């Protein structure tokens, strides 16, 4: 599993906490350490590597930070795809087409993450079930898009030979 996928899986978990009625009575606004919040994720070690060390915030702030971090990584990924497309004279036709598809998917990911970030940034409390489901749907689409683009990377030798 790639780092970007792990981060998105962690986001899905955090968002499920934010929308869960069973957690609605818990003091989610209470500051906790990043180590404590990471224990609730599928990969605590990765979570600790992403969230700021020795930092105390509430679940909502960690969720906002995670979405923002994912958005930042998505912009970096788009720049990388653009860089490869900028050297298209050295690429096979198949590679160019795959990278163009990847570029479109990366732009969609940025749009989806921007929408998610706007939603969580404008929420001071628990997300409604419908908003949380919408964001989880967007995050699922992002995972699919990212996996599709990563297939290009896994098969790059085949793509970078002349047609």
What pLDDT is attached to residue 154?
65
DSSP code at position 128: P
- The partner residues of 32 in beta bridges, in order of sequence, read 57
What pLDDT is attached to residue 12?
62
Give the CATH number of the domain where residue 74 resides. 1.20.140
Do 116 and 14 touch, CB atoms closer than 8 A? no
What pLDDT is attached to residue 103?
94
- What does the alpha-carbon distance between residue 60 and residue 18 come to, in Å, rounded to a whole number? 7
What pLDDT is attached to residue 24?
46
Do 132 and 125 touch, CB atoms closer than 8 A? no
The total of structural domains in the chain comes to 1
- What does the alpha-carbon distance between residue 53 and residue 35 come to, in Å, rounded to a whole number? 8
Q: Which residues contact 62 (CB under 8 A, 6 or more apart)?
A: 14, 34, 37, 51
- What does the alpha-carbon distance between residue 130 and residue 10 come to, in Å, rounded to a whole number? 19
Which domain range does residue 77 map to?
3-159
Q: What is the pLDDT along the chain (163 residues), one digit of tens a residue?
A: 565 566 566 666 566 555 545 444 556 778 888 888 888 887 888 888 888 887 888 888 888 888 888 899 899 989 999 998 998 888 888 888 888 999 999 999 999 999 988 888 887 767 788 888 888 888 888 888 888 888 766 665 555 555 4
What pLDDT is attached to residue 120?
82
Per the listing, tokens 């990924």 go with 77
Query: Over the Cα atoms of the chain, what is R_g?
Result: 18
Per the listing, tokens 């989806």 go with 112
Q: Pull the structure tokens for residue 24.
A: 């609605």
What pLDDT is attached to residue 126?
74
pTM of the model: 0.77
- What does the alpha-carbon distance between residue 83 and residue 60 come to, in Å, rounded to a whole number? 35
- What does the alpha-carbon distance between residue 11 and residue 82 come to, in Å, rounded to a whole number? 26
């Amino acid at each position: 599993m790639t780092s970007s996928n792990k981060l998105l899986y962690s986001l899905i978990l955090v968002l499920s906490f934010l929308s869960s009625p069973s957690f609605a009575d818990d003091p989610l606004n209470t500051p906790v350490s990043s180590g404590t919040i990471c224990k609730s994720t599928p990969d605590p070690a990765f979570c600790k590597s992403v969230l700021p060390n020795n930092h105390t915030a509430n679940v909502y702030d960690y969720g906002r930070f995670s979405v923002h971090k994912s958005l930042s990584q998505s912009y970096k990924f788009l720049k990388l795809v653009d860089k490869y497309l900028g050297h298209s004279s050295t690429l096979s036709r198949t590679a160019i087409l795959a990278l163009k598809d990847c570029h479109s998917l990366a732009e969609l990911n940025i749009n989806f993450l921007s929408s998610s970030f706007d939603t969580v940034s404008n929420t001071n409390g628990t997300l409604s079930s419908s908003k949380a489901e919408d964001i989880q749907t967007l995050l699922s689409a992002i995972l699919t898009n990212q996996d599709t683009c990563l297939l290009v990377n896994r098969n790059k030798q085949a793509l970078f030979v002349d047609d």
